[in-house]
Chains A and B, each alone.
Chain A
């Protein structure tokens, strides 16, 4: 996080909240996005498009369940294809949310207050997308519940030595904790909405959801402790989740998977892609809902810096991987390197190096960091790059392993694409809905950032 703190000399950090705001204005501006703003055509149109894309996924999944995983490009030796690639990619994206809400909270990075709400929402939706794939990719999805240890008539249990079982526990825990974290953060704001709306029905709904929160100091005290504890627990959790995901590969003996570098390098990659997604969402949101006062250049720039930083950790990962392939002196590991550069999938590897390592370097330039348009493009580029990384790890490692006789190729089918792009539709659809029904920025936490609130702290 070092590069978050550092300030280039001579440059004035932009504020976290634009000047001239007080408790009231902050509350109104954010709440009105939901309560007062009329439904715009743009919003409807966007939601509709996402919905259509979602239908494509449903088509793919129906085909999948009717006919079997054979409708995908998977085969022997490449037993895992898009399903796992997308799973890892989505889970990774989710990580930024938790990082912002939990880790930055612990690090007292108060600027995170204005982006943590939708970052967490993003996490939830991303995890939802990710969570579908492990079930889809089963040969017999209707038996997915066998992965849970429940008292069954077989007197038989899941195999706790398998990384996939670890995955089940890690991902479900992660999903639950993220959801709770998000909801706890929402409670006071729901109370605010309860009072701000004039519609009776909304009053009831928000009122119930707010659980009757009444801003009592005693409640606040327990609330703060619980919130802090959640942050404290979510931090190791978020690190563990992608570590466990990386174990899916690192525990295997496939050349290109069996590496100790994977956990840190996966986590960094996750945050890398996660922040890219944050920016891809934040930039349009602050524009169209003119929340520029709260999601300021400061946030944009910091996120850009995080990308730059994690980008370099990832770069180190690649370098070290290649080095170990050579240094290990193992025939098969050595060939992994050779195959990535010269094999049939060399292009994807080159592309991922370009997208993940070369392009983001322009972020060294501050002008780019604070230029919404370019930053948006770079974020997209990183998202693509990180997807390619997962593709290379999963497919390119598998397609040529130990016995030459069993080498094969993987060609994604249209169902592969349908389901992948479909989840993108699902994700964005969720974001659209979220923007309409809930305060996209944590109102009460924003209040604490106002000067008048600051003053009380230093009595």
Chain B
């Protein structure tokens, strides 16, 4: 078990190459790894310890800072040539400089240089954990993967956790304790605060307030209780701009107590969403829901589920549904009532028909249907959903209630209001803000900033010196979750121990340690807090075993929540049940509604300095680096605005100017804005990107409200989208890019999927014979039914393959570098379209058009059917890209990879070459992983690499919906072979006779015959 050594303090100290005062051997050892790895450390000095490195770690904007975003790097000619020539290697008349090689002084046992280790840990968002396995090279975490043993993850992850490894190495992270703008130290802070705590304890801490984000950590909960016991008068507030208040209030309405709702989608024949986007990474339980949903969408299984979406702002969930009813968010409550049987409210003919047939379906599937309310719908809708599910007898079958995952399910909005009130009243002497950024994201109407600035002592603990840190007397640089100990709950209640993968790069502190100081136990370490807590939970001699096991597996046995019996509070139900006929109406249908949504990529703004996420195309619009206001096609036409035009949005007396994005499927008289952009102090990637819409938001109506004014103003704004053209129509034809059918059609003739190319379309004898002879021939299938467009594969690939970020301007030039992209197509009526997601990696064509035209043979075919791309042979004619019908090849128009910033060097995957300027690159089917398995097998003297199911490409591994399957097509029993045998299997553009190894399973929808036509 490796975590033992991990625990051992000495390691955690030494591991970190960045640690200021000590250049140590493990650091140095990274050297060994790197010199054999792809990176090109020119000298030890550059790597660690010595001056340059120190300087970099401490400069606010490290060298090469601008490269992330600038079109044209400011680096000197020689540097460019140097790097490029380094790639060219010995053959390009260049002489390799002497490379130092630095061994350990004492080598830790489990380390085998050249072999990665995997550690289980967990990432937390809004209190909900994503269980992870993290790949570590010589104690440098390089790749985040889902914990495939964990019931919630089963190997799947989400974009936020995938990208968090970049967050760890972000050179913009806060690296010091700051006091009044000057670099200070943890020691000084302790002195100061311990002194003042003396007089606080007199007043039982009446002047102390703590503001944190939602947390589910049992250890932290315990510690906070202890803290509050020590200072009974102190208060602990919780606020996150995107929270579950509605859900908990709804639960209180229905049951009189806050509960979490889990949906068992694998048991659901009919799914009805009330403005709920459960296929979005921010939704608690996303990975499990995506998997369960996909499980029930197999048209060959015979029990394919049917999904109805009633929603305002379009979401992946809505677009994947079989029937989607676009309505304003305010009208959802009324429709919910109708579903519950009420006759109140007015519906258009079409809507009425829709609702009627939904009701019919629900009744027909009592106990096997589920109604899912949206996080941002008001409590009433949640209560109604509970009521309907109860009526339908779904509770216990498709719907399960449990204790809340978060330790403190209090109403966060109220909590924030209280805090502000106290601050205004001058009751607060010490405010400790941890991990949240209220000065940026608190609702406009509480005027947090004013009250805040009245507090005499403000302390901020956070990863960045953000807007809030700026206004605090003390800022303490927090440890990243990959640097510190902790524990956290997944949405099913299971606890995971968070263990550090690397010693704190900048000597950061965790909230545990800060609380330790506040509770007068300055020596307390996060490790002790967590371990002590669990020792209490698991007393007895076998604790060590228990502890190791929990760390190794990645979760603590027996912590999973069991379903909870909840009884309806009658008086509340009376108003929510069928008889009710009045709703919080959105006023006249002409009143314009504004929706506030967390951004699909950067959530509430906390990830805005994560360049991977910034450059990640949003699932629907494919926008990068910006947020725009979504307007429906009808409304846009009426207003005479086009995408990229600037409009002024006024609501609640505040106004914001932002650019328009015309989003197909958006309901009329309704607009959507996304939170989290317009940061002022985020870092190089985040600062200044997009537009801040928090000023429009109030505590009363945090998610949507009517009465917004939208007026066109002069000027346009550059929006960088990776997919300018989002339909399959070209000229007067529609191209068979995504092939689809309804379940009925598919049942009648499964071979609807025509256009199979003739077997032999060539004068030449092909290589088929050779491919057959090979024991292995790699292939991939992508099931368009399962793909929910969550983008997870893109980030996974970016992390695994050292893919560079190019910045907004380059994206706008069409120079983004993602090896796998997810295309979104909208067909039919733009106001209520059919939409499809299609992930596109390299097709690894057997008759690859790209290979034929490369003058230097830099891209050729391996015997196992891989379309190899040899970067160091490429001279950059770009002919291959021109000749690639799928346009999956990516070109380094500039030196996009950051060759300077030391943090990024630590982050890179040493098994993949870091590409230089002027070379082509593309998906390799993760050839480094294939090689790893091949070598493993061959060393054991067998030819059987038993890869099926074990050897996974990064995209496949991260996919929560199992849409991507990779394997050996020469083995008839492999998963991929079986899928390729299906009749809905088709090759993209296969009429070109490129013979792609990557094929797609056509998308089959399951519409309700009643509602068709």
Contacts of A199 in B (CB 8 A): none
Are the C-beta atoms of B72 and A76 separated by less than 8 Å? no
Are the C-beta atoms of A402 and B885 separated by less than 8 Å? yes
Per the bound structure, the CA–CA distance linking A332 and B737 in Å amounts to 12
Are the C-beta atoms of B77 and A66 separated by less than 8 Å? yes
Contacts of A137 in B (CB 8 A): 877-878
- B-facing residues in A149-193 (Cβ within 8 Å): 152-154, 156-159, 161-165, 168
Query: From B918, which residue of chain A is reached at the shortest CB distance?
Result: A139
Are the C-beta atoms of B849 and A164 separated by less than 8 Å? no
- A-facing residues in B94-109 (Cβ within 8 Å): none
The CB with the most chain A CB atoms within 10 A, among B91, B823, B856, is that of B856
Contacts of B91 in A (CB 8 A): 152-154
Interface string of B864-892 (1 = CB under 8 A from A): 00000000011111110111011101111
On chain A, which size bracket covers the interface? 35 or more
- A-facing residues in B63-101 (Cβ within 8 Å): 71-73, 77, 80-81, 84-85, 88, 90-92
Are the C-beta atoms of B727 and A253 separated by less than 8 Å? no
26 contacts between A and B (CB under 8 A): A67-B894, A70-B815, A75-B813, A75-B815, A77-B814, A139-B876, A139-B891, A139-B919, A140-B917, A141-B875, A146-B875, A152-B91, A153-B90, A156-B857, A157-B857, A158-B856, A159-B854, A159-B855, A161-B852, A163-B853, A253-B885, A400-B730, A402-B735, A404-B725, A404-B726, A405-B737
Q: In the complex, which of the residues B727, B853, B855, B892 contacts A147, with contact meaning CB atoms closer than 8 Å? A: B855
Counting CB contacts under 8 A, is B674 at the interface? no
Contacts of A408 in B (CB 8 A): 724, 814
The prevalent SS among residues of B at the interface is: loop
Are the C-beta atoms of B853 and A162 separated by less than 8 Å? yes
Binding site for B on A (CB under 8 A): 65-71, 73-80, 137-144, 146-147, 152-154, 156-159, 161-165, 168, 248, 251-254, 331-332, 334-335, 338-339, 342, 398, 400-409
Are the C-beta atoms of A404 and B730 separated by less than 8 Å? yes
Interface string of B16-33 (1 = CB under 8 A from A): 000000000000000000
Count chain B residues whose beta carbon lies closer than 8 angstroms to a beta carbon of A: 68
Q: In the complex, which of the residues B821, B882, B918 contacts A398, with contact meaning CB atoms closer than 8 Å? A: B882
Are the C-beta atoms of B879 and A164 separated by less than 8 Å? yes
Q: A76-B814, A164-B877 are in contact. Are A140 and B853 (CB under 8 A)?
A: no
Query: From B93, which residue of chain A is reached at the shortest CB distance?
Result: A142
Are the C-beta atoms of B887 and A406 separated by less than 8 Å? yes
Are the C-beta atoms of B887 and A76 separated by less than 8 Å? yes
Counting CB contacts under 8 A, is B491 at the interface? no
Are the C-beta atoms of A76 and B815 separated by less than 8 Å? yes
Q: Quote the shortest CB–CB distance from B921 to chain A (angstroms).
A: 11
Query: From B730, which residue of chain A is reached at the shortest CB distance?
Result: A335
A-B pairs, 5 with minimum CB distance: A139-B876, A139-B918, A70-B893, A79-B878, A406-B887
Contacts of A251 in B (CB 8 A): 852-853
Query: From B989, which residue of chain A is reached at the shortest CB distance?
Result: A402
The CB with the most chain A CB atoms within 10 A, among B889, B893, B894, B919, is that of B893
Are the C-beta atoms of B917 and A139 separated by less than 8 Å? yes
Per the bound structure, the CA–CA distance linking A193 and B449 in Å amounts to 90
Are the C-beta atoms of B73 and A143 separated by less than 8 Å? no
Q: A252-B849, A331-B735, A401-B885 are in contact. Are A140 and B874 (CB under 8 A)?
A: yes
Contacts of B892 in A (CB 8 A): 68, 139
Are the C-beta atoms of A69 and B918 separated by less than 8 Å? yes
Are the C-beta atoms of A138 and B876 separated by less than 8 Å? yes
Are the C-beta atoms of B733 and A138 separated by less than 8 Å? no
Contacts of A168 in B (CB 8 A): 855
Q: In the complex, which of the residues A71, A140, A339, A409 contacts B84, with contact meaning CB atoms closer than 8 Å? A: A140
Q: Quote the shortest CB–CB distance from B198 to chain A (angstroms).
A: 61
Q: In the complex, which of the residues A67, A398, A400 contacts B72, with contact meaning CB atoms closer than 8 Å? A: A67
Per the bound structure, the CA–CA distance linking A274 and B989 in Å amounts to 40
Query: From A168, which residue of chain B is reached at the shortest CB distance?
Result: B855
Query: From B852, which residue of chain A is reached at the shortest CB distance?
Result: A161
Query: From A251, which residue of chain B is reached at the shortest CB distance?
Result: B853
Per the bound structure, the CA–CA distance linking A71 and B84 in Å amounts to 17
Contacts of A65 in B (CB 8 A): 77
Q: A335-B731, A405-B838 are in contact. List 11 more A-B contacts (CB 8 A).
A: A65-B77, A67-B80, A69-B876, A69-B918, A139-B878, A146-B856, A153-B91, A164-B853, A164-B879, A408-B814, A409-B724
Are the C-beta atoms of B823 and A162 separated by less than 8 Å? no
Q: In the complex, which of the residues A146, A332, A404 contacts B728, with contact meaning CB atoms closer than 8 Å? A: A404
Are the C-beta atoms of B854 and A253 separated by less than 8 Å? no
Q: A66-B80, A153-B90, A165-B855 are in contact. Are A76 and B894 (CB under 8 A)?
A: no
Contacts of B92 in A (CB 8 A): 142-143
Per the bound structure, the CA–CA distance linking A165 and B359 in Å amounts to 68
Per the bound structure, the CA–CA distance linking A80 and B81 in Å amounts to 23
Counting CB contacts under 8 A, is B732 at the interface? yes
Are the C-beta atoms of B919 and A140 separated by less than 8 Å? yes
Contacts of B708 in A (CB 8 A): none
Contacts of B992 in A (CB 8 A): 253, 402
Per the bound structure, the CA–CA distance linking A331 and B881 in Å amounts to 21
Counting CB contacts under 8 A, is B476 at the interface? no
Are the C-beta atoms of A159 and B887 separated by less than 8 Å? no
- A-facing residues in B827-872 (Cβ within 8 Å): 838, 840, 849, 852-857
Q: Quote the shortest CB–CB distance from A386 to chain B (angstroms).
A: 22
Per the bound structure, the CA–CA distance linking A406 and B888 in Å amounts to 9
Q: In the complex, which of the residues B732, B815, B875, B891 contacts A144, with contact meaning CB atoms closer than 8 Å? A: B875
Q: Quote the shortest CB–CB distance from A185 to chain B (angstroms).
A: 33
Per the bound structure, the CA–CA distance linking A403 and B992 in Å amounts to 13
Q: Quote the shortest CB–CB distance from B433 to chain A (angstroms).
A: 42
Contacts of A332 in B (CB 8 A): 735
Are the C-beta atoms of A403 and B887 separated by less than 8 Å? yes
Counting CB contacts under 8 A, is B463 at the interface? no
Q: In the complex, which of the residues A68, A254, A342 contacts B883, with contact meaning CB atoms closer than 8 Å? A: A254
Q: In the complex, which of the residues A67, A252, A253 contacts B73, with contact meaning CB atoms closer than 8 Å? A: A67
